[in-house]
Amino acid sequence: MSRYLLALDQGTTSSRAILFDRQGRIAAIEQKEFAQHYPQSGWVEHDANDIWRSQLEVAQAVLKNNHVKADDIVAIGITNQRETTVVWDRKSGEPVCPAIVWQDRRTAGLCDRLRGEGKEELFARKTGLVLDAYFAGTKLNWILENVPDARARAERGELAFGTVDSWLVYKLSGEHVTDSSNASRSLLFDIHRCEWDDELMAVLQVPRSMLPRVVASSGIAAQAKAEWFGSPLPIAGIAGDQQAATFGQACLREGMVKNTYGTGCFMLMQTGAQAAVSKNKLLTTIGWTLAAEDGAAPQTSYMLEGSIFVAGAVVQWLRDGLGVITKSSDIEALAAQAPDNGGVYFVPAFTGLGTPYWDPYARGSISGLTRGSTKAHLARAALESIAYQTADVLEAMQKDAAIPLKELRVDGGAARNDLLMQFQADMLGVPVVRPQVTETTALGAAYLAGLATGFWHSQEEISAMWQVDRLFEPGMAADLRDELLMRWHKAVGCSRGWMLD
């Protein structure tokens, strides 16, 4: 009997392959970081072939190193950094240019122009998104306008567009598909009708022939070819990483919220079958679509989302950019050397600011330095910045939500940091709960694939597998919290609009 689900988690900084057993426990894991490219201020690129090769390498390694055969695997679930845009030639399978990463700000001017033409309301109404360079649609427009011959080749039907899920499924199986959660981040997809939208395609000048077929997030979408794992394997789950993490955290009832601390930080609230509209600059997004049974309509779940562009990446910057730590995890001990931030505030707006500011022209700043400031203060300020940004997002979410938040479920690489999690609880004034499995992104993709193939049978079974590792209770006095947040907002003011003359 097949024993495992194979989850492929293609994140912004690394590719991971994880085998999950029937109890939702990690049986084996392989991970590989890959190169980030910053060719100009505000630009972020990946080599799409690096993405594919690193993902294939870890997937093959997790089987080989653990003596697991394709026959032991029920199915593959894929989850991915979202919005990152790949365009490739259908015949050769080669990308026509570097992938434009979700953090890339190069299309901020195009977003301004579309806003000036009064298109903001159209995009908000149909896609649930704000007009920001974050999303895939304007990145795709940029490629068609700037890569030599791209538009002519696209018009002839020679080029395919996809986000990273789509690119990986294409390389694994030859199929050109995406799921509704990823499509909902494109500015081209009507989230209410669950279809690509001609009017949006016309505004962004994207030919329909480039777009992938949209499939359910849980359902057999394609077969990975035998050449990769020894036998064909069904790809039965696909979801954007933040939506998959929401599933992996078992946030399956309305009002449940999770926050994932990876490269960026993303807070998602389950709103059920309703696409709730935010009055506070949150995004409305598709969580997942479950395939229909017995001819019934597919079930789509919606979410409200707050997106922070730089979270764990600020720690990486201290590691790789400044060299003040050698491993990301070293930051906790360094920050703990200072009893508080010593008045230092770090706004890591390296690629602008997301929710609730939506300012592509903001850039990073460090304020409040004195002769007494040390690298421990800087480390502390970096960690605190993650918690302050999250507090800003939660404030927006609480204004939108009818029900006050009881607890925040957390996961992702930086959620392993106890100092950060305690400070986070202090800043939010609600308990922060970390589950035993913090690889919830991969777990969510495994669950989606497992539900489609009968490995697991119901959402109730999945909810029952979620278990607490540690709960962080808020303990800070309200006046100290208010003082810290007041100074944080003052520091944000220094970063806002920095690139504007």
Ligand X SMILES: Nc1ncnc2c1ncn2[C@@H]1O[C@H](COP(=O)(O)OP(=O)(O)O)[C@@H](O)[C@H]1O
Whichever of 275 and 335 has its CB closer to ligand X, that residue is: 335
* DSSP 8-state symbol, 25: -
CB of 165 to ligand G3P, least distance (A): 11
Exposure string for 77-111, b = 16+ CB within 10 A, e = fewer? bbbbbbbbbbbbeeeeeebbbbbbbbbbbbbbebb
On whether 242 is known to bind a ligand per the annotation, the reply is yes
Q: What is the CA radius of gyration of the chain?
A: 22
CB of 31 to ligand X, least distance (A): 8
Whichever of 16 and 126 has its CB closer to ligand G3P, that residue is: 16
CB of 428 to ligand X, least distance (A): 18
On whether 495 is known to bind a ligand per the annotation, the reply is no
Q: Are 316 and 331 in contact (CB under 8 A)?
A: no
Whichever of 241 and 384 has its CB closer to ligand G3P, that residue is: 241
- Ramachandran bin of 294, using left for φ above 0, alpha for ψ from -120 to 50, beta for the remaining angles: left
CB of 371 to ligand G3P, least distance (A): 36
Whichever of 240 and 312 has its CB closer to ligand X, that residue is: 312
Of 440, 424, 437, the closest CA to residue 473 belongs to 424
242 binds, among ligand G3P, ligand X, none (CB under 5 to 8 A by kind): ligand G3P
On whether 157 is known to bind a ligand per the annotation, the reply is no
CB of 44 to ligand X, least distance (A): 12
CB of 263 to ligand G3P, least distance (A): 3
413 binds, among ligand X, ligand G3P, none (CB under 5 to 8 A by kind): ligand X
List of residues contacting ligand X (CB under 6 A): 11-14, 262-263, 312-313, 315-316, 328-329, 331-332, 412-414, 416-417
Q: How many CB atoms lie within 10 A of CB 1?
A: 6
Q: How many CB atoms lie within 10 A of CB 293?
A: 8
On whether 83 is known to bind a ligand per the annotation, the reply is yes
d(CA 119, CA 34): 37
State the angle between helix axes of 478-495 and 375-400 in degrees (0 to 180), rounded to the nearest 10: 100
Whichever of 318 and 397 has its CB closer to ligand X, that residue is: 318
On whether 395 is known to bind a ligand per the annotation, the reply is no
Give the three-class secondary structure for 374: coil
d(CA 476, CA 387): 14
d(CA 101, CA 52): 15
421 binds, among ligand X, ligand G3P, none (CB under 5 to 8 A by kind): none
Sequence-separated (6 or more) residues with CB below 8 Å from residue 137: 186, 187, 188, 200, 204, 206
d(CA 151, CA 46): 21
CB of 13 to ligand X, least distance (A): 4
On whether 312 is known to bind a ligand per the annotation, the reply is yes
Whichever of 78 and 338 has its CB closer to ligand G3P, that residue is: 78
Q: How many CB atoms lie within 10 A of CB 70?
A: 16
**Structure tokens that stand for 333 in this block:** 């001990």
Tell me which residue has its CB nearest to ligand G3P.
Answer: 262
243 binds, among ligand G3P, ligand X, none (CB under 5 to 8 A by kind): none
Whichever of 161 and 266 has its CB closer to ligand X, that residue is: 266
**Structure tokens that stand for 277 in this block:** 């509209």
List of residues contacting ligand G3P (CB under 6 A): 11-12, 81-83, 102, 240-242, 262-264
Whichever of 172 and 245 has its CB closer to ligand G3P, that residue is: 245
CB of 99 to ligand G3P, least distance (A): 13
Whichever of 108 and 344 has its CB closer to ligand G3P, that residue is: 108
Q: Are 356 and 392 in contact (CB under 8 A)?
A: yes
Half-sphere exposure of 207 (CA within 13 A, CB side): 17
Q: How many CB atoms lie within 10 A of CB 34?
A: 18
On whether 413 is known to bind a ligand per the annotation, the reply is yes
The one-letter amino acid at 391: A
179 binds, among ligand G3P, ligand X, none (CB under 5 to 8 A by kind): none
Q: What is the CA 160 to chain-centroid distance, rounded? A: 22
Q: Are 144 and 205 in contact (CB under 8 A)?
A: yes
**Structure tokens that stand for 179 in this block:** 């799921």
102 binds, among ligand G3P, ligand X, none (CB under 5 to 8 A by kind): ligand G3P
CB of 383 to ligand X, least distance (A): 7
Please report, in range form, the residues annotated as the binding site.
12-14, 16, 82-83, 134, 241-242, 263, 312, 316, 413, 417
Binding residues for sn-glycerol 3-phosphate: 12, 82-83, 134, 241
State the binding site for ADP: 12, 16, 263, 312, 413, 417
Q: Which residues are annotated as a binding site for ATP?
A: 12-14, 263, 312, 316, 413
* Binding site, annotated residues for glycerol: 82-83, 134, 241-242
